[in-house]
Amino acid sequence: MNKSPFNTALAGYLFVAPAMIAIVVFFFGPALAAFILSFTDFDIYALADIRNLRFVWFKNYTELLANPLFWTALKNTLFFVFVGGPLSMAASLSAAILLTENSVKLKAFIRTIFFAPVVTTLVATAVVFKYLLHTKYGFINYGLEQIGIKPIDWLGDPHWAMPAIIVFAVWKNFGYNMVIFIAAIGSIPSDLYEAAKIDGASPWQRFLNVTLPALGPSILLVSIMTMTGYFQLFAEPYVMTQGGPAEQTVTVLYMMYEQGFKWWNLGSASAVAFVLFAMMLVMTLIQGQIAKLQGVK
Amino acid sequence: MEKLKSLLFNLLVWLLVFLVAFPLLWMVTTSFMHAGEAASFPPPLLPKSPTLDAYHELFAGNHIEVYFFNSVILAVCATILSLSFNVMAGYAFAKLRFKGRDAMFNILLSALIIPAQVGMMPLFLLLKTFGLVNTYAGALVPWIASVFGIFMVRQFSQAIPDEMIEAARVDGANEFQIFTKLIIPNLTPILVTLGLFTFLGSWNDFMWPLIILTDNQSYTLPVALAVLSREHVQDSELMMAGAVITVLPVLLLFLVLQRYYMRGLLAGSVKG
């Protein structure tokens, strides 16, 4: 009797139902509601009394595009994505290559050290970096001074605040992609290298002609994950700079948070969220297209 | 030549090890300094006379044990929720045949492109309506089920042979017994991985707790730390002690269960 497919199907529904209901109610539902919310003027008055809610159609979006802070936030976010993202990936790839060198000893230990920042609490390490980046008493300026570089007001100078956050982000994140790259390098057949060696290729040529092409799919995957992740920059400026100096570390998500949960303009915050979503989607699609054109995958 | 190259590589690697480890080591040594000691030039590496003052101040003056307790409760509950909801669903999507299964799973996968922050405004309003702002339940809502978790369990469940499940059915076991007595034991390694990911994720999470836990007594460690750091800008020693208390549990957990963590990381990265 238990063999009947009916029982199996029923069990199937019962097993997926709790998770599906939770995801629909707490994820898909709110995401859809946010889309509707972005066409309303939901603000602190509507929060107090829902009868104050009006449909304003595209007003939130047009106001957003007319807001100079949005363009600053967009510029800051794109700077973080397109400068911080590639730098993080370059650090990951370099570390992976170093850790797959035969001559390097204690690989497992070193890999653990390199990976440690990834699992640490973002807010806690951001606080640590805030002090390390201190102009006068911070170790970063102290170290730079030893090689003849004058102190930089990292978190106080509008030109340096975002680069400082990038330095922190590279330190915090490079271990993650490093592990993926190490696995990918490990799966490259060693006879490819032997053949290149016999052909007289230098280590650099071997890297360009064997390692890099073989890593194509991993690099694509890692770049999509890293860049879409970097679009969501929030905690670092919240903790390290509070969006300053001169709004140079206000990001799109930071703006969403302030609009939504500081000023309670939940309608306009939802519009910000959808603009962010659209940008991330476009980014993913473009990278997918590039991959197709280059024949990766 | 080869020897020189090898020496250079090793030097470079150990320089990097130093640079990467330095912030965490400095965090630990500074947390044992006397108040104001770190703010001197040149910046001190080690405390002159190690003290627990900063830790004492955190517990006595700032009640960090309250936030620590909140963080532990939330991370433990999130792990239990994730291990029940995701594992049942992931197994069913892999091994139980029912109508609409693949369609449902594809809808789930589409969730991966939507950033979690998009729904935060309506989710806040929903929870506010039910009086769940400033409650553990409100903070736990995003952790009940996750597409990533379901995906991971499904992937590993597929490796369980159908014949084994079929044999159990022939022996008269019902689907629930099969799940608890046969599937769960077979999935143990991936359950450790999923549990670890959820625990670390919940412990380190910032934005949602910041939004939903607005009352001082309900803060988690990261939220409390962010608030404290705005009030105590000059107190590096105090803040470093707070950072140590926040980071140490997850760092130790990772060190002990590293093998399981890497397995999950690589499984997740294959999915694309």
The contacts of residue B2 (CB under 8 Å, 6+ apart) are A103
Provide the terminal-to-terminal Cα distance of chain B, rounded to the nearest Å. 41
Question: How many whole angstroms separate alpha carbon A88 and alpha carbon A180?
Answer: 13
- A62 within some domain: no
Summarised one tens digit per residue, pLDDT across range A38-76 is: 999 999 999 988 898 999 999 999 999 999 999 999 999
- A155 within some domain: yes
Using CB atoms and an 8 Å cut-off, which of residues 6-45 of chain A contact chain B?
A: 7-13, 15-16, 18-20, 22-23, 26-31, 33-34, 37, 42
Nearest to A142 among B21, B43, B226 (CB): B43
Q: Could you identify the residue written with the tokens 């400033």?
A: B134
Q: For A274-283, give one letter per residue: b (16+ CB within 10 A) or e.
A: bbbbebbeeb
- pLDDT, average across residues B153-161: 94
| Cβ–Cβ below 8 Å for B243 and A127 | yes
Q: Does A114 touch chain B (CB under 8 A)?
A: yes
Q: Could you identify the residue written with the tokens 């047009």?
A: A62
Going by C-alpha positions, the residue among B48, B43, B19 that lies closest to residue B32 is B48
Dihedral sign for Cα atoms in the order B186, B192, B195, B197: negative
Which positions in chain A touch B18 (Cβ < 8 Å)? none
H/E element, A59: helix A59-66
- pLDDT, average across residues B183-194: 95
Q: Does B114 touch chain A (CB under 8 A)?
A: yes
Q: Does A187 touch chain B (CB under 8 A)?
A: no
| Cβ–Cβ below 8 Å for B17 and A2 | no
Q: Which residue(s) pair with A55 in the sheet?
A: A40
Select the highest-mean-pLDDT range: A36-50, A186-200, A251-265.
Answer: A251-265
Share of chain A above pLDDT 70, in %: 97
* Residue A69: both structure tokens together: 């802070």
Q: Could you identify the residue written with the tokens 């935060």?
A: B120
Using CB atoms and an 8 Å cut-off, which of residues 163-192 of chain B contact chain A?
A: 169-170, 172-176, 179
Residue A268: pLDDT over 50: yes
Residue A4: pLDDT over 70: no
DSSP percent split of chain A into helix, strand, coil, nearest 5: 75, 0, 25
Distance from CA of A23 to the nearest CA of B (A): 6
Distance from CA of A68 to the nearest CA of B (A): 22
- pLDDT, average across residues A273-295: 88
CB count within 10 Å of CB A24 equals 16
Summarised one tens digit per residue, pLDDT across range B217-271 is: 999 999 999 999 999 988 999 999 999 999 999 999 999 999 999 988 887 654 4
| Cβ–Cβ below 8 Å for A12 and B144 | no
Which positions in chain B touch A273 (Cβ < 8 Å)? 115, 117-118, 120-121
What DSSP state is assigned to residue B113?
Answer: G
- Smallest CA–CA distance from A203 into chain B, residue: B5
List, as one string, the DSSP characters of A89-144.
HHHHHHHHHHHT-TT---HHHHHHHHHHHHHS-HHHHHHHHHHHT-TTT-HHHHHH
- A43 within some domain: no
pLDDT-derived band at A289 (thresholds 50, 70, 90) equals: confident
Nearest to A121 among B175, B211, B247 (CB): B247
Q: Which domain does A235 fall in, by range?
A: 68-294
* Number of domains chain A is built from: 1
Q: Which residue(s) pair with A40 in the sheet?
A: A55
The C-alpha R_g of chain B, in whole angstroms, comes to 23
Question: How many whole angstroms separate alpha carbon B3 and alpha carbon B93?
Answer: 54
Going by C-alpha positions, the residue among B28, B20, B141, B151 that lies closest to residue B77 is B141
Vertex A54: Cα angle to A53 and A55 (nearest 5) = 135
- Smallest CA–CA distance from B170 into chain A, residue: A3
Vertex A122: Cα angle to A118 and A124 (nearest 5) = 120
| Cβ–Cβ below 8 Å for B175 and A274 | no
Distance from CA of B263 to the nearest CA of A (A): 10
Provide the terminal-to-terminal Cα distance of chain A, rounded to the nearest Å. 46
Using CB atoms and an 8 Å cut-off, which of residues 198-257 of chain A contact chain B?
A: 218, 221-222, 225, 228, 231-232, 234-235, 238-239, 242, 253, 256-257
Go through chain B and tell me how many residues it has.
Answer: 272
Q: What is the pTM of this model?
A: 0.94
Going by C-alpha positions, the residue among B175, B181, B187 that lies closest to residue B86 is B187
Question: How many whole angstroms separate alpha carbon A40 and alpha carbon A57?
Answer: 7
Nearest to B240 among A10, A15, A128 (CB): A128
Nearest to A15 among B92, B174, B226 (CB): B92
> Which of A1, A4, A6, A16 to substitute to test the interface with B, most B CBs within 10 Å?
A16
The pLDDT score that the predictor gives to residue A6 is 64
Question: How many whole angstroms separate alpha carbon B146 and alpha carbon B154?
Answer: 12
The C-alpha R_g of chain A, in whole angstroms, comes to 24
The pLDDT score that the predictor gives to residue A290 is 83
| Cβ–Cβ below 8 Å for A34 and B24 | no
Vertex A173: Cα angle to A169 and A179 (nearest 5) = 160
- A119 within some domain: yes
Question: How many whole angstroms separate alpha carbon B203 and alpha carbon B68?
Answer: 10
The pLDDT score that the predictor gives to residue B271 is 42
Q: Domain boundaries in chain B?
A: 65-221+239-271
Summarised one tens digit per residue, pLDDT across range A109-159 is: 999 999 999 999 999 999 999 999 999 999 999 999 999 999 999 999 999
Share of chain A above pLDDT 90, in %: 76
| Cβ–Cβ below 8 Å for B39 and A121 | no
- A206 within some domain: yes
Q: Is B1 in a helix, a strand, or coil?
A: coil
Question: How many whole angstroms separate alpha carbon B171 and alpha carbon B181?
Answer: 13
Name residue B210's amino acid.
L
Confirm if B143 and B82 have CB atoms less than 8 A apart: yes
Going by C-alpha positions, the residue among A289, A284, A275 that lies closest to residue A77 is A275
Which positions in chain A touch B85 (Cβ < 8 Å)? 18-19, 22
Residue B213: pLDDT over 60: yes
Residue B272: pLDDT over 80: no
Nearest to B98 among A12, A98, A257 (CB): A12
Q: Between A and B, how many residue pairs show a Cβ–Cβ distance under 8 A? A: 280
- pLDDT, average across residues A153-179: 97
The contacts of residue B167 (CB under 8 Å, 6+ apart) are none
| Cβ–Cβ below 8 Å for A239 and B226 | yes
* Residue A80: both structure tokens together: 């973080």
> Which of A45, A102, A110, A120 to substitute to test the interface with B, most B CBs within 10 Å?
A120
- Smallest CA–CA distance from B121 into chain A, residue: A266
Does domain B65-221+239-271 fall into CATH 1.10.3720.10?
yes
Q: Does B85 touch chain A (CB under 8 A)?
A: yes
